[in-house]
């Protein structure tokens, strides 16, 4: 018996449809300069000690339980 895999995954963006409406994800994009300020705040590493004054580029996600592709447990 052969098996076929069907990919149902959906890319998570701030435009993905959500149910109920208004419960979709929000994504805050932070560039390297913002990441440097976060490193300074979180870890105490001054901007002058970071390579070219740049930290990590970061995406900060706010998600509800049913955002993105997932498979519910049978009892749910």
Report percent pLDDT > 90 for the chain.
25
Peptide bond into 67 cis (omega under 30): no
The pLDDT assigned to 46 comes to 93
Predicted local confidence at residue 73, as pLDDT: 58
pLDDT of residue 31: 92
Residue 67: CB atoms within 10 A of its CB come to 18
Per DSSP, the three-state class of 34 is helix
pTM above 0.75, yes or no: no
Compute mean pLDDT per 10 residues along the chain, 76 residues long, and list them: 83 80 87 91 92 88 76 59
The number of angstroms, rounded, from the C-alpha of 50 to the middle of its chain's C-alpha atoms is: 24
- CA angle 40–27–67, rounded 5-degree value: 130
Give backbone dihedrals phi and psi of 58, rounded to 5 degrees, phi first: -135, 145
Q: What is the CA radius of gyration of the chain?
A: 19
């Amino acid at each position: 018996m052969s098996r076929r895999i069907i990919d149902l995954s959906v890319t998570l963006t701030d435009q993905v449809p959500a149910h109920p409406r208004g419960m979709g994800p929000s994504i805050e994009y932070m560039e390297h300069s913002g990441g440097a300020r976060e490193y300074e705040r979180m870890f105490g590493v001054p901007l002058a000690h970071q390579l070219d004054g740049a930290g990590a580029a970061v995406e900060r996600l706010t998600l509800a339980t049913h955002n993105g592709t997932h498979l519910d447990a049978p009892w749910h």
